[in-house]
Structure 1
Amino acid sequence: MNLQHHLPPLRRHSKWFWLGIVAIVVVVVAIAVPLAVVILPQRNRNDRPATNILIPLYIYPLNESSWSPLYDAVSRRPDLNFTVIVNPNSGPGNGPDPDPKYTTSIRQLNSYPNIETVGYVRLGYATRNLTDVTREVSVYAGWSGKSTSLSMHGIFFDEAPHVYSAEAVDFLRAADRFAKGSSGLQGRRTIIHNPGVVPDSRFNSTDVDMTVIFEESYAKWQDQDQTKPLDLLPKTRGAYSIMIHSMPAMSNSTMGQFVDKVAGLAKNVFLTSLHVDFYNSFATDWLDFVGQTPA
């Protein structure tokens, strides 16, 4: 018996049916692929550790272009916070007010909502006279009395001690308390210590908002003996900063991966490819670093 004569005929679709199917597939692909390109990088970026930039701005504002790389970076990245260390003369200078060029430039810094300005004070590893230290803090605090646009929002204590002694701890805590209590400083009155290494835990204080735990070259960063103490930090990453100079040339993707690695330990980061006078000019890859830093 020939079953073919008893089976229902096969349904055959016209070429227009198949062309319609192909057209639908093309439209779906055209929509889905661009969405994947847009959405996936954003998802990856959100998975990266939120980071701030701590920038030592030890550049005299001779003219409008002196600080323009910073203004450019801040304008390009309104989602990213910058803590800017203002350092007129290894401190606030001799007079009660910043000089006219600094006055103009500080006002511009403070006009950006994503910039926090802090004044530079050197501690000499607790060897300076405490009276000189508090006087310099008072000068910075006094700027807001001239104009709120000149306000400093904290103090960056450079050359902070890291080797324990009772005298050094007393010195540092007295300086911290004085700065935190200075009403002329605005905002949070951020206190930053820069020992450049992980300090003795007995220097820990609730008055301190940030500690620079590594300030060295990229080559030193690669040395595991140098970075081993960073794995034993007692506080969360928001309490720390890492500053690395003499960076090698990197692609943007490699730079982004390196920033993520550093930011996994410290929320506040600064990287520069300069090998000398690290904080006296902007490196050629400054904007690359800013662009690869996750907010």
Structure 2
Amino acid sequence: MFQILSVLVTVLAFASIAQSTGVIVPLYAWPGTDVWNTVYESIAAHPSTPFYLIVNPSTGPGATEYPEDAYITAIAKLNSYSNAKVLGYTYTNHGSRAISEVESDIATYAKWSTYAGTDISVAGVFFDQTPSGEDPSFLPYFQQLSSTTKGSNLNTVVFNPGVKIVADVEAWFAAADFIVEYENTYTNWLALAPSEHFSGEANYAKDAIILNQTPADASIDTVAKLAKNLGLGAIYLTYDDNYMGLTSVSKIAVAVSQRRKVKRRGHSHQ
């Protein structure tokens, strides 16, 4: 009974913040030697902000049944926070990778929930290198992957084309909980009006953005405020382009967690 109540508390806690703009972190750096400490601290310091943490042991879950000890310790730590969702990374090569291989990765991630002694379960799967929808023949492939994922009790599906969906928009968003419609540099983000990076306002709540090569003097607060005003699902900014550095996480967490200012009759209220 205690375990059931604990699960319900966690579910309700995350449900209460699910409508907030979250922080989506590509946790591609190896977790040993306290590398992920800034992530743990940020999650703990902002309990009302959802965090989506993408773990990537070996361009996917790896060839073993369970991850190595460093990942077991680190993932269990992430799972101790009610506002954190761990997502397993896999890639699709824009729909040309054999679907059986991708589904094997899904099955491995699902298997992690059976690890004895500590909770290393993942909440969903992050599918990298997904297409933009321009070729409609790829849609059934990704609909099947979504169905397989959710049927494996991994209930958060993220597609990452890195660009906006250009066709069958509603079908693509119906198959995913989030779609990363922008993964590119900070400079290129500024080059267009924000709305031009997305396929449509109706799906902003399921949109995620990942900005890389962010200058040290860039205004993370400005990007976060815009994301919240648009109602985007999740954001991330990093100073590098390989996602090994995590020094920006704490700044993003602070910026996203700040209450939105609402202007009324010339006044601004927190």
TM range (shorter): 0.7 to 0.9
Distance 1:166 1:150, change over 3 A: same
1:57, distance to aligned residue in structure 2 (A): 0.3
CA contact (8 A) 1:211 1:239 kept: yes
Structure 2 residue 32 is the aligned partner of structure 1 residue 56: no
1:256 equivalent among 221, 227, 248: 221
Partner of 1:118: 87
Aligned mates of 1:240, 1:231 — CA distance in 2: 8
Partner of 1:193: 159
Structure 2 residue 183 is the aligned partner of structure 1 residue 215: yes
With the length of structure 2 as denominator, give the TM-score of the two structures. Answer: 0.81
Stretches of structure 1 that go unaligned for 5 or more consecutive residues are 1-48
1:139 equivalent among 103, 108, 132: 108
Structure 2 residue 135 is the aligned partner of structure 1 residue 165: yes
Distance 1:86 1:231, change over 3 A: closer
Partner of 1:88: 57
Aligned mates of 2:108, 2:142 — CA distance in 1: 19
Amino acid across the alignment from 2:147: R
Instruction: Tell me the alpha carbon deviations over residues 96-155 of structure 1, each in whole angstroms, 9 at most, x when there is no partner.
Output: 111111111111110111101111110100010000000000000011012461111111
SS at 1:264's partner residue? Answer: helix
Amino acid across the alignment from 1:248: P
SS at 1:140's partner residue? Answer: helix
1:238 equivalent among 181, 184, 205: 205
With the length of structure 1 as denominator, give the TM-score of the two structures. Answer: 0.74
SS at 1:88's partner residue? Answer: coil
Partner of 2:264: none
Aligned mates of 2:99, 2:204 — CA distance in 1: 30
Aligned mates of 1:86, 1:231 — CA distance in 2: 26
2:35 equivalent among 51, 63, 66: 66
CA contact (8 A) 2:139 2:172 kept: no
1:205, distance to aligned residue in structure 2 (A): 4.5
Stretches of structure 2 that go unaligned for 5 or more consecutive residues are 1-18, 259-270
SS at 1:244's partner residue? Answer: strand
RMSD: 2.0
**Identity over the aligned pairs, expressed in percent?**
26
Amino acid across the alignment from 2:237: L
Partner of 1:269: 235
Partner of 2:46: 77
Q: How many residues align?
A: 236
Q: Flag the structure with larger Rg.
A: 1
